[in-house]
Amino acid sequence: MTSGGDAAGMNPAIKYAATYAKKCGLSPYLVEWGLRGLIEGWVREATPDRLAGIIHRGGTVLGSSRSKRFYEYEFRKQAFENLQHHGITKLIVIGGDGSFSALNQFYADFEVPFAGIPATIDNDIPGTDYCLGVDTALNMIRQSVDSIRDTASSFSRAFVIETMGRHCGYLAITSALANGADVCLVPEVAYDLDSIAERLRMQKKQGQKYVLGIVAEGTGMGDTLTRWMGEALGMDARLTVLGHVQRGGSPTVYDRVMAHNFATAAIDGLLAGERNKVVTFKDGHIGSSSISEIAAAKHLVNPSLVKLCEELSN
């Protein structure tokens, strides 16, 4: 099942998890529409026709949802009875920490073991360096920034590009570094607009014709930075909010390969007796962490990336 926000890489993970499960002698099923689907009993066998032609597709062919009803015991019991009807004894959920917490409560109630596959473009799940969908999202942002750069240079304008990231600036930081942005504002780094203005004025004197700024939505600084650039630099300044375009797109090669790694590790973990673990990718190695470990930890963006971003915030 997929749950929470969609992310490119979910479909390859669905495909690889189901096909690998069959190779291991299991009988895989697909839950449609996430937690709501568990409650409603929207469960179907993972037949070849359901799995064919989905690896290249963005989003999730199973659909997703956020269900308030799942927080109520009576509806979780209904979900459990639906699984019993199909003889389902193990679950794989592809999503974020909210989905994992919901399945952890489900395990506490009915002892149905599950494996979590991290999938969120914010890349903000503690214990793992990578979540499915991140590389595709970064490439969608890169494509957009490249297009915006063309018009910025043509009209000598300042552009501010707002990326997703309510609590985590990973997308903005990585995109700013990869795309040569002049300014980057994220929740993890203190910024100094006076210092930025002095630096940008110097760059203009040295012949720079346009300015690019990238901000994380969690800073709430998109409109403010755009107005400030116009006033401080005397330039025509525009804001582009990328929004949900960052969630879309065909999964990159990296996301497809990581989906394969995560999916096989999830099946192997369940077969080895793991009961409520999330598959992780840490320091180049696939592993797993318990929900309690993830809940107790605070996610931090790689300090080396944060340090590189500091010069764009001052």
Q: Which residues are part of the catalytic machinery?
A: 122
Torsions phi, psi for 244 (to 5 deg): -75, -5
Rounded to an integer, what distance in angstroms lies between the CA atom of residue 42 and that of residue 32?
A: 6
Question: What is the C-alpha separation between 278 and 270, in angstroms, rounded?
Answer: 11
Strand intervals (E) in 58-135? 91-95, 114-118
How many CA atoms lie less than 13 Å away from 214 in the CB half-sphere? Answer: 29
Q: Which residues pair with 184 in a beta bridge?
A: 214
3-state helix, strand, coil split of the chain in percent (to 5) is: 50, 15, 35
Query: Which residues contact residue 282 at a Cβ distance below 8 angstroms, ignoring those fewer than 6 apart?
Result: 127, 128, 129
Cβ neighbours of residue 300 under 8 Å, at least 6 residues apart? 188
